[in-house]
Each structure stands twice: as C-alpha cells, then as structure tokens.
Amino acid sequence: MGLLHDEGLDAVSMRRVADRLGVAPNSIYAHVADKAALVDELIDAMLGTVSTPTDDGWRERIERVMRDSRGALLAHPDLIPFALVRQSVGPNALRLGEVTLTSLREAGLDGAEAVTGLQVLLVHTIGSAAFEAGRTQDPEPAARSRRGRERAVDFGGVTAELSDPISRWSGDVVFERGLAWLLDGLVSDTASHD
C-alpha cells in the first residue's frame, strides 16, 4: 500500500515490493498466490478505510456506503479498473455488501431483487469512479497521436459540444445524479409490485 501510494500501481512489481520488505522477490509467492491475488488484497485493504454506516434510514446508509466507497476508490485511482473486473469479495467488500443488502431488504426488495439492486449500485459506484479516474489522471502518455492524425474532429459540430463538457466536468454530478435515479427507480419499482 505504501508503494502504491508513493509511486502508483506501475511501481508495484514483485521486485519493488520485495525490495521494500528487504527480501528476495520469490519470497512473496509464499504469502500470495499471484500478482493478481496481491492486487486483490490491495483492493480489499483500500476498502478497509470505509466504515460501516450507522444511520437510521436505509437510504442514508446506502448513500453513505456508496459515497465513502467512491472516496476510497478515488484515493487510489490505479486500482479502480481491477475493482470492477476482479471482484475478489474480500472481508471488507463483504462487510459493505452485507450492510447494503440488508438496507435494500429494509427498502422492501425481496431476495433476488435485493441482490440485483446491490450489483447495479456497485456497477454505478465503481464504474463512475473509473470513468472519473480516467478523465483525471495521465493526460500525456505519449503526446497523443504520432503526427496529428486529427481523429475525433469535425463530426458535425456536435463534437465540441460532446467532448468539451466531458473533459472539464465534475464527476460528483454523474455519481450523485445516477445514484439518485437508481434509488428512486428501486423504490418506485417496489411500490408498483405491491
């Protein structure tokens, strides 16, 4: 985690980690199966900073879990893509998933629907964080295309309208609006079912 925080995920190689610990690179394989497994543990360690909410209302609890998880994700942007694809379900992810699931049941969703709701919320939270992290960081990997190949230009004037506000927009809006829409949709769906 220290290495990740100091120099980013690219610096987290087996050799660098081993250096940091003062051991040989292979020693790590006695504690971790794989590099992927190491990243999985990093992800769950990151979620360890998110506390279990104790609010009264189910909606407030869900909003807090998702908002805080988003904060933890954005604190370590390099990890976000892996959080979506490799859902390792470590103890911390499990803890937060549990709270959300019971909150959704409190909201009136039955077993299968609550699970679907949790998954949709996860997709939105992690997905919007990934989207924002992509916009935020590394703007200059190799100075765009080779010889100004002018792709993504003049597609009818909508281009400026589309790609411009995207580039300088607030990720909070996307997250908060999407979260509100989803929670609204969840309850209205339940109400119509009854």
Residues engaged in binding DNA (CB under 7 A): 11-16, 18, 22-27, 29-31, 34-36, 141-142, 147
For position 172 contacting its own copies by CB under 8 A, the verdict is: no
- Residue 49 interacts with its own copies (CB under 8 A): yes or no: no
By CB under 8 A, name the one of 15, 20, 86, 193 that touches its own copies: 86
Q: Which is nearer to its own copies, 90 or 108 (CB)?
A: 90
Whether 115 contacts 69, CB under 8 Å: no
115 binds, among its own copies, DNA, none (CB under 5 to 8 A by kind): its own copies
Burial of 12 (0-12, 13-18, 19+ CB in 10 A): buried
Q: Are residues 53 and 64 in contact, defined by beta-carbon separation less than 8 angstroms?
A: yes
Angstrom distance (rounded) from CA 117 to CA 84: 16
Binding segment (CB under 8 A) for its own copies, from list 19-27, 46-54, 58-66, 168-176? 168-176
Contact flag: residue 95 with its own copies (CB under 8 A)? yes
Q: What is residue 33's three-state secondary structure? A: coil
Residue 128 and residue 83: Cα distance in Å, rounded? Answer: 12
Residue 145 in contact with its own copies, rule: CB under 8 A? yes
